[in-house]
Amino acid sequence: MKISFLLHNAYGIGGTITTTFNLAGALAERHDVEIVSVLRHREHPNLTPQPGVRLRALVDLRREKDHPLHGRPAKVFPSAEYRHHQYSELTDQRIAACLEAIDADVVIGTRPGLNVHLALQAPRHVIRVGQEHLTLDNHTPALRTALRRAYRRLDVLTTVTEADAACYRRKMRLPGVRVEALPNSVPDPVLPGADGNARTVVAAGRLVPVKRYDLIIEAFARVVAEFPDWRLRIYGKGEEHDRLRARIETLGLWNNVFLMGAATPMEAEWVKGSIGAAASNFEPFGMTIVEAMRCGLPVVSTDCPYGPGEIIRDGEDGRLVPVGDERAFGEALLDLVRDDERRRRMGRAALDNARRFAPGPVVAQAERLFTEAIEARDGGPRRTSRADGTHHSLSARGHAARDLAHTVAAGALRTVRKGRR
Protein backbone atom coordinates (compact mmCIF):
# COMPACT_ATOMS: atom_id res chain seq x y z
CA MET A 1 0.00 0.00 0.00
CA LYS A 2 1.33 3.48 -0.82
CA ILE A 3 0.47 6.07 1.82
CA SER A 4 1.07 9.83 1.68
CA PHE A 5 0.74 12.29 4.55
CA LEU A 6 -0.01 15.94 3.78
CA LEU A 7 1.57 18.03 6.56
CA HIS A 8 1.70 21.79 7.17
CA ASN A 9 5.45 22.08 7.86
CA ALA A 10 7.48 18.95 8.59
CA TYR A 11 10.50 21.12 9.38
CA GLY A 12 8.96 22.71 12.48
CA ILE A 13 8.22 21.51 16.01
CA GLY A 14 4.84 20.46 17.37
CA GLY A 15 2.60 17.64 18.45
CA THR A 16 1.05 17.03 15.03
CA ILE A 17 4.49 16.81 13.44
CA THR A 18 5.68 14.34 16.09
CA THR A 19 2.63 12.09 15.81
CA THR A 20 2.76 12.17 12.00
CA PHE A 21 6.41 11.14 12.01
CA ASN A 22 5.63 8.39 14.55
CA LEU A 23 2.77 6.91 12.53
CA ALA A 24 4.58 7.28 9.20
CA GLY A 25 7.65 5.53 10.59
CA ALA A 26 5.63 2.64 11.95
CA LEU A 27 3.65 2.22 8.70
CA ALA A 28 6.88 2.30 6.67
CA GLU A 29 7.83 -1.11 8.07
CA ARG A 30 5.17 -2.63 5.79
CA HIS A 31 4.23 0.06 3.27
CA ASP A 32 5.57 2.70 0.88
CA VAL A 33 5.25 5.93 2.89
CA GLU A 34 5.98 9.59 2.16
CA ILE A 35 5.40 12.86 4.00
CA VAL A 36 4.54 15.84 1.81
CA SER A 37 5.33 19.06 3.64
CA VAL A 38 3.46 22.04 2.21
CA LEU A 39 6.03 24.45 3.59
CA ARG A 40 9.76 24.26 4.26
CA HIS A 41 11.86 26.90 5.99
CA ARG A 42 15.14 25.14 6.80
CA GLU A 43 17.59 22.60 5.39
CA HIS A 44 16.90 19.73 7.80
CA PRO A 45 13.79 18.88 9.82
CA ASN A 46 13.96 19.04 13.61
CA LEU A 47 12.77 15.44 13.70
CA THR A 48 14.46 12.77 11.63
CA PRO A 49 12.11 10.61 9.54
CA GLN A 50 12.37 6.88 10.14
CA PRO A 51 14.17 4.82 7.47
CA GLY A 52 11.83 4.19 4.57
CA VAL A 53 9.88 7.44 4.98
CA ARG A 54 10.46 9.89 2.13
CA LEU A 55 10.09 13.61 2.74
CA ARG A 56 9.43 16.28 0.13
CA ALA A 57 8.26 19.89 0.25
CA LEU A 58 5.94 21.85 -2.05
CA VAL A 59 6.95 25.44 -1.22
CA ASP A 60 10.46 26.25 -0.02
CA LEU A 61 10.21 29.51 1.87
CA ARG A 62 13.98 29.96 1.80
CA ARG A 63 13.72 30.71 -1.92
CA GLU A 64 10.03 31.37 -2.59
CA LYS A 65 8.91 33.58 0.29
CA ASP A 66 8.71 36.54 -2.11
CA HIS A 67 7.05 34.65 -4.96
CA PRO A 68 4.27 36.88 -6.39
CA LEU A 69 1.59 34.24 -5.84
CA HIS A 70 2.66 33.79 -2.23
CA GLY A 71 1.59 37.33 -1.54
CA ARG A 72 -2.01 36.60 -2.54
CA PRO A 73 -4.39 34.99 -0.02
CA ALA A 74 -5.33 31.34 -0.42
CA LYS A 75 -8.73 30.58 -1.95
CA VAL A 76 -9.02 26.84 -1.28
CA PHE A 77 -7.49 26.70 2.20
CA PRO A 78 -10.39 27.97 4.38
CA SER A 79 -10.07 31.55 5.59
CA ALA A 80 -11.41 30.60 9.03
CA GLU A 81 -8.55 28.16 9.59
CA TYR A 82 -5.92 29.29 12.11
CA ARG A 83 -3.03 28.92 9.64
CA HIS A 84 -4.73 30.69 6.71
CA HIS A 85 -2.29 33.62 6.82
CA GLN A 86 0.56 31.21 5.99
CA TYR A 87 -1.19 29.90 2.87
CA SER A 88 -1.55 31.59 -0.50
CA GLU A 89 -2.44 31.14 -4.15
CA LEU A 90 0.99 29.53 -4.48
CA THR A 91 0.21 26.86 -1.88
CA ASP A 92 -3.23 26.41 -3.46
CA GLN A 93 -1.58 25.67 -6.81
CA ARG A 94 1.17 23.43 -5.44
CA ILE A 95 -1.20 21.35 -3.31
CA ALA A 96 -3.64 20.96 -6.19
CA ALA A 97 -0.85 19.83 -8.55
CA CYS A 98 0.49 17.42 -5.95
CA LEU A 99 -2.90 15.80 -5.40
CA GLU A 100 -3.68 15.67 -9.12
CA ALA A 101 -0.49 13.71 -9.82
CA ILE A 102 -0.39 11.61 -6.68
CA ASP A 103 -0.22 7.84 -7.13
CA ALA A 104 -0.86 6.88 -3.51
CA ASP A 105 -3.58 4.49 -2.42
CA VAL A 106 -4.26 6.53 0.72
CA VAL A 107 -3.66 10.23 1.37
CA ILE A 108 -3.91 11.54 4.92
CA GLY A 109 -4.53 15.19 5.73
CA THR A 110 -3.28 16.36 9.11
CA ARG A 111 -5.14 19.62 9.80
CA PRO A 112 -8.56 21.04 8.84
CA GLY A 113 -7.36 23.27 5.99
CA LEU A 114 -5.40 20.46 4.39
CA ASN A 115 -8.32 18.09 4.88
CA VAL A 116 -10.40 20.54 2.81
CA HIS A 117 -7.82 20.45 0.02
CA LEU A 118 -7.83 16.66 0.19
CA ALA A 119 -11.62 16.40 0.14
CA LEU A 120 -12.04 18.79 -2.79
CA GLN A 121 -9.00 18.03 -4.94
CA ALA A 122 -7.81 14.45 -4.47
CA PRO A 123 -8.70 12.09 -7.34
CA ARG A 124 -11.51 9.63 -6.80
CA HIS A 125 -9.22 6.59 -6.84
CA VAL A 126 -7.48 7.83 -3.68
CA ILE A 127 -8.77 6.99 -0.22
CA ARG A 128 -9.06 10.39 1.46
CA VAL A 129 -8.43 10.32 5.21
CA GLY A 130 -8.81 13.51 7.22
CA GLN A 131 -7.23 13.69 10.66
CA GLU A 132 -8.44 15.89 13.51
CA HIS A 133 -5.60 16.58 15.94
CA LEU A 134 -7.56 19.15 17.96
CA THR A 135 -11.31 18.82 18.52
CA LEU A 136 -14.44 19.88 16.69
CA ASP A 137 -15.48 22.19 19.53
CA ASN A 138 -12.10 23.91 19.32
CA HIS A 139 -13.01 25.28 15.87
CA THR A 140 -14.96 28.47 15.21
CA PRO A 141 -18.51 28.26 13.83
CA ALA A 142 -17.24 29.64 10.50
CA LEU A 143 -14.64 26.89 10.21
CA ARG A 144 -17.12 24.19 11.22
CA THR A 145 -19.41 25.37 8.43
CA ALA A 146 -16.57 25.13 5.88
CA LEU A 147 -15.60 21.69 7.16
CA ARG A 148 -19.17 20.40 7.05
CA ARG A 149 -19.40 21.28 3.35
CA ALA A 150 -16.06 19.78 2.36
CA TYR A 151 -15.76 16.79 4.69
CA ARG A 152 -18.70 15.02 3.01
CA ARG A 153 -16.23 14.09 0.27
CA LEU A 154 -13.80 12.35 2.63
CA ASP A 155 -13.77 8.58 2.99
CA VAL A 156 -12.54 8.46 6.58
CA LEU A 157 -12.23 11.03 9.36
CA THR A 158 -10.16 10.17 12.42
CA THR A 159 -10.07 11.90 15.79
CA VAL A 160 -7.64 11.25 18.64
CA THR A 161 -10.34 10.48 21.22
CA GLU A 162 -13.63 8.59 21.30
CA ALA A 163 -15.29 11.65 22.82
CA ASP A 164 -14.42 13.82 19.83
CA ALA A 165 -15.44 11.11 17.37
CA ALA A 166 -18.85 11.02 19.04
CA CYS A 167 -19.02 14.81 18.83
CA TYR A 168 -18.28 14.74 15.08
CA ARG A 169 -20.95 12.10 14.47
CA ARG A 170 -23.52 14.01 16.49
CA LYS A 171 -22.87 17.54 15.25
CA MET A 172 -21.49 17.21 11.73
CA ARG A 173 -23.61 14.37 10.30
CA LEU A 174 -21.37 13.32 7.42
CA PRO A 175 -23.23 10.64 5.43
CA GLY A 176 -20.95 8.02 3.93
CA VAL A 177 -17.91 9.18 5.91
CA ARG A 178 -16.50 6.76 8.44
CA VAL A 179 -15.67 8.62 11.67
CA GLU A 180 -13.45 6.72 14.09
CA ALA A 181 -11.01 7.47 16.90
CA LEU A 182 -7.37 6.68 16.12
CA PRO A 183 -5.16 7.62 19.08
CA ASN A 184 -1.68 9.01 18.74
CA SER A 185 1.13 6.52 19.23
CA VAL A 186 4.34 6.82 21.22
CA PRO A 187 7.39 4.80 20.18
CA ASP A 188 8.53 1.94 22.38
CA PRO A 189 10.94 3.16 25.09
CA VAL A 190 14.60 2.24 24.69
CA LEU A 191 15.49 2.87 28.34
CA PRO A 192 14.39 0.85 31.38
CA GLY A 193 11.28 2.30 33.00
CA ALA A 194 11.41 4.42 36.14
CA ASP A 195 11.62 2.44 39.39
CA GLY A 196 9.59 4.90 41.45
CA ASN A 197 12.40 5.70 43.86
CA ALA A 198 13.39 9.16 42.62
CA ARG A 199 11.95 12.01 44.64
CA THR A 200 11.06 13.91 41.49
CA VAL A 201 7.87 15.01 39.75
CA VAL A 202 8.21 15.70 36.01
CA ALA A 203 6.03 17.84 33.72
CA ALA A 204 6.65 18.71 30.07
CA GLY A 205 5.15 20.67 27.20
CA ARG A 206 4.75 24.17 25.83
CA LEU A 207 4.82 26.86 28.53
CA VAL A 208 1.49 28.44 27.58
CA PRO A 209 -1.48 29.49 29.75
CA VAL A 210 -3.79 26.58 28.84
CA LYS A 211 -1.25 24.07 30.22
CA ARG A 212 -1.54 25.61 33.73
CA TYR A 213 2.00 25.04 34.95
CA ASP A 214 1.25 27.72 37.53
CA LEU A 215 -1.28 25.36 39.09
CA ILE A 216 1.27 22.52 39.17
CA ILE A 217 3.78 24.79 40.92
CA GLU A 218 1.24 25.96 43.48
CA ALA A 219 0.06 22.40 44.11
CA PHE A 220 3.64 21.24 44.47
CA ALA A 221 4.16 23.81 47.25
CA ARG A 222 1.92 21.54 49.35
CA VAL A 223 4.27 18.64 48.67
CA VAL A 224 7.35 20.68 49.65
CA ALA A 225 5.73 21.77 52.92
CA GLU A 226 5.59 18.11 54.00
CA PHE A 227 8.45 16.63 51.95
CA PRO A 228 11.12 19.31 51.37
CA ASP A 229 13.46 16.84 49.65
CA TRP A 230 11.13 16.38 46.63
CA ARG A 231 11.76 18.24 43.37
CA LEU A 232 9.61 19.36 40.42
CA ARG A 233 11.20 19.59 36.98
CA ILE A 234 9.27 21.36 34.19
CA TYR A 235 10.55 20.85 30.63
CA GLY A 236 9.59 23.11 27.74
CA LYS A 237 9.72 26.68 26.52
CA GLY A 238 7.11 29.33 25.82
CA GLU A 239 5.56 32.64 26.70
CA GLU A 240 4.82 31.70 30.32
CA HIS A 241 8.47 31.17 31.27
CA ASP A 242 9.07 34.49 33.04
CA ARG A 243 5.73 34.46 34.84
CA LEU A 244 6.38 30.93 36.09
CA ARG A 245 9.87 31.90 37.24
CA ALA A 246 8.38 34.79 39.21
CA ARG A 247 5.80 32.49 40.80
CA ILE A 248 8.51 30.04 41.86
CA GLU A 249 10.42 32.87 43.56
CA THR A 250 7.30 34.28 45.23
CA LEU A 251 6.54 30.87 46.75
CA GLY A 252 10.16 30.41 47.84
CA LEU A 253 10.51 27.22 45.80
CA TRP A 254 13.79 28.04 44.03
CA ASN A 255 15.44 24.95 45.60
CA ASN A 256 12.56 22.64 44.66
CA VAL A 257 11.09 23.71 41.31
CA PHE A 258 13.22 23.96 38.18
CA LEU A 259 12.42 25.23 34.68
CA MET A 260 14.61 22.91 32.65
CA GLY A 261 14.08 24.26 29.14
CA ALA A 262 13.24 22.07 26.17
CA ALA A 263 14.57 18.50 25.97
CA THR A 264 14.42 16.20 22.94
CA PRO A 265 13.92 13.33 23.31
CA MET A 266 12.15 13.45 26.67
CA GLU A 267 12.44 9.76 27.49
CA ALA A 268 15.74 10.16 29.35
CA GLU A 269 14.12 12.85 31.52
CA TRP A 270 10.88 10.97 32.25
CA VAL A 271 12.74 7.96 33.63
CA LYS A 272 14.55 10.20 36.14
CA GLY A 273 11.21 10.92 37.82
CA SER A 274 8.64 8.98 39.82
CA ILE A 275 5.44 10.94 39.07
CA GLY A 276 4.22 12.77 35.97
CA ALA A 277 2.06 15.90 36.17
CA ALA A 278 -0.31 17.58 33.70
CA ALA A 279 -2.80 20.32 34.62
CA SER A 280 -4.26 21.54 31.31
CA ASN A 281 -7.63 23.25 31.09
CA PHE A 282 -8.06 21.61 27.68
CA GLU A 283 -6.19 18.73 26.06
CA PRO A 284 -7.26 17.18 22.72
CA PHE A 285 -5.18 14.08 23.52
CA GLY A 286 -2.27 14.26 25.96
CA MET A 287 0.95 13.04 24.35
CA THR A 288 3.08 13.90 27.37
CA ILE A 289 0.78 11.84 29.59
CA VAL A 290 1.29 8.80 27.38
CA GLU A 291 5.05 9.46 27.16
CA ALA A 292 5.32 9.56 30.95
CA MET A 293 3.25 6.41 31.40
CA ARG A 294 5.27 4.54 28.76
CA CYS A 295 8.31 5.33 30.92
CA GLY A 296 6.67 3.88 34.04
CA LEU A 297 5.35 7.04 35.71
CA PRO A 298 1.86 7.32 37.19
CA VAL A 299 0.46 10.68 36.11
CA VAL A 300 -1.60 13.16 38.10
CA SER A 301 -3.73 15.12 35.63
CA THR A 302 -6.73 17.38 35.47
CA ASP A 303 -9.75 15.58 34.05
CA CYS A 304 -10.10 18.14 31.26
CA PRO A 305 -11.72 17.65 27.86
CA TYR A 306 -10.87 15.44 26.00
CA GLY A 307 -7.86 13.19 26.33
CA PRO A 308 -6.74 12.54 29.91
CA GLY A 309 -9.87 10.64 30.92
CA GLU A 310 -9.38 8.22 28.00
CA ILE A 311 -5.72 7.65 28.86
CA ILE A 312 -5.56 7.51 32.67
CA ARG A 313 -7.45 4.92 34.69
CA ASP A 314 -8.07 6.86 37.87
CA GLY A 315 -6.60 5.17 40.93
CA GLU A 316 -4.97 2.43 38.87
CA ASP A 317 -2.22 4.06 36.79
CA GLY A 318 -2.65 7.71 37.74
CA ARG A 319 -5.04 10.24 39.23
CA LEU A 320 -7.65 12.50 37.66
CA VAL A 321 -8.66 15.68 39.49
CA PRO A 322 -11.07 18.53 38.68
CA VAL A 323 -9.84 21.23 36.30
CA GLY A 324 -8.37 24.24 38.09
CA ASP A 325 -8.50 22.66 41.56
CA GLU A 326 -5.07 23.35 43.07
CA ARG A 327 -5.93 21.75 46.41
CA ALA A 328 -7.14 18.51 44.81
CA PHE A 329 -4.07 18.42 42.58
CA GLY A 330 -1.77 18.87 45.55
CA GLU A 331 -3.52 16.16 47.55
CA ALA A 332 -3.31 13.75 44.60
CA LEU A 333 0.42 14.35 44.39
CA LEU A 334 0.78 13.86 48.13
CA ASP A 335 -1.11 10.56 48.00
CA LEU A 336 1.63 9.20 45.73
CA VAL A 337 4.53 10.91 47.49
CA ARG A 338 3.50 9.53 50.90
CA ASP A 339 2.99 5.93 49.76
CA ASP A 340 6.10 4.45 48.14
CA GLU A 341 4.50 1.08 47.39
CA ARG A 342 1.38 2.60 45.86
CA ARG A 343 3.52 4.88 43.69
CA ARG A 344 5.58 1.94 42.41
CA ARG A 345 2.51 -0.23 41.86
CA MET A 346 0.75 2.51 39.87
CA GLY A 347 3.94 3.09 37.88
CA ARG A 348 4.00 -0.56 36.86
CA ALA A 349 0.31 -0.34 35.90
CA ALA A 350 1.02 2.81 33.84
CA LEU A 351 3.79 1.02 31.96
CA ASP A 352 1.49 -1.91 31.20
CA ASN A 353 -1.69 0.02 30.37
CA ALA A 354 0.07 2.52 28.10
CA ARG A 355 1.15 -0.26 25.75
CA ARG A 356 -2.14 0.24 23.93
CA PHE A 357 -0.60 3.45 22.57
CA ALA A 358 2.47 1.64 21.20
CA PRO A 359 3.03 1.78 17.42
CA GLY A 360 1.90 -1.84 16.91
CA PRO A 361 -1.73 -1.52 18.06
CA VAL A 362 -2.18 1.94 16.52
CA VAL A 363 -0.72 0.83 13.17
CA ALA A 364 -2.93 -2.25 13.22
CA GLN A 365 -6.00 -0.06 13.68
CA ALA A 366 -4.88 2.34 10.92
CA GLU A 367 -4.30 -0.54 8.51
CA ARG A 368 -7.73 -1.92 9.28
CA LEU A 369 -9.33 1.45 8.50
CA PHE A 370 -7.43 1.82 5.23
CA THR A 371 -8.08 -1.76 4.14
CA GLU A 372 -11.81 -1.54 4.79
CA ALA A 373 -12.03 1.82 3.00
CA ILE A 374 -10.28 0.37 -0.06
CA GLU A 375 -12.58 -2.67 0.01
CA ALA A 376 -15.64 -0.42 0.14
CA ARG A 377 -14.39 1.76 -2.70
CA ASP A 378 -13.65 -1.24 -4.89
CA GLY A 379 -17.17 -2.61 -4.56
CA GLY A 380 -16.58 -4.74 -1.50
CA PRO A 381 -18.74 -4.72 1.60
CA ARG A 382 -20.30 -1.36 2.35
CA ARG A 383 -20.47 -0.38 5.99
CA THR A 384 -23.03 1.82 7.65
CA SER A 385 -23.03 3.59 10.98
CA ARG A 386 -25.47 2.88 13.76
CA ALA A 387 -26.71 5.76 15.86
CA ASP A 388 -24.07 4.98 18.49
CA GLY A 389 -21.29 5.36 15.93
CA THR A 390 -20.42 1.64 15.68
CA HIS A 391 -20.30 -0.05 12.30
CA HIS A 392 -21.82 -3.21 10.84
CA SER A 393 -21.65 -4.95 7.50
CA LEU A 394 -24.64 -4.89 5.18
CA SER A 395 -23.98 -8.38 3.85
CA ALA A 396 -22.22 -11.63 4.60
CA ARG A 397 -19.31 -10.35 2.50
CA GLY A 398 -18.66 -7.89 5.29
CA HIS A 399 -17.49 -10.71 7.53
CA ALA A 400 -14.87 -11.67 4.96
CA ALA A 401 -13.67 -8.06 4.72
CA ARG A 402 -13.51 -7.83 8.49
CA ASP A 403 -11.49 -11.04 8.69
CA LEU A 404 -9.14 -9.78 5.97
CA ALA A 405 -8.63 -6.50 7.81
CA HIS A 406 -7.98 -8.32 11.07
CA THR A 407 -5.45 -10.57 9.33
CA VAL A 408 -3.62 -7.56 7.90
CA ALA A 409 -3.71 -5.82 11.30
CA ALA A 410 -2.43 -8.89 13.10
CA GLY A 411 0.38 -9.16 10.58
CA ALA A 412 1.37 -5.55 11.28
CA LEU A 413 1.45 -6.21 14.99
CA ARG A 414 3.54 -9.36 14.56
CA THR A 415 5.98 -7.43 12.38
CA VAL A 416 6.39 -4.70 15.00
CA ARG A 417 6.85 -7.27 17.78
CA LYS A 418 9.40 -9.18 15.71
CA GLY A 419 11.33 -5.97 15.19
CA ARG A 420 11.59 -5.46 18.96
CA ARG A 421 13.39 -8.76 19.52
pLDDT digits (tens, 9 = 90+) for 297-308: 999 999 999 999
| Domain 200-357 architecture | 3-Layer(aba) Sandwich (3.40)
Say yes or no: do domains 2-181 and 200-357 share a fold: yes
pLDDT tens, 114-172? Answer: 999 999 999 989 999 999 999 999 999 999 999 999 999 999 999 999 999 999 999 99
Q: Is the pLDDT of residue 214 over 90?
A: yes
Distance CA 2, CA 104 (A): 5
**Residue 363's pLDDT is what?**
95
Homologous superfamily assigned to 2-181: Glycogen Phosphorylase B; (3.40.50.2000)
Averaged pLDDT score across all residues of the chain? 90
Share of the chain above pLDDT 70, in %: 90
What mean pLDDT do residues 84-112 have? 98
Listed by start position, the domains of the chain span 2-181, 200-357
Please tell me which residue, 402 or 88, carries the higher pLDDT value: 88
Q: Summarize pLDDT for 30-63 with one digit per residue, the tens.
A: 999 999 999 999 999 988 899 999 999 999 999 9
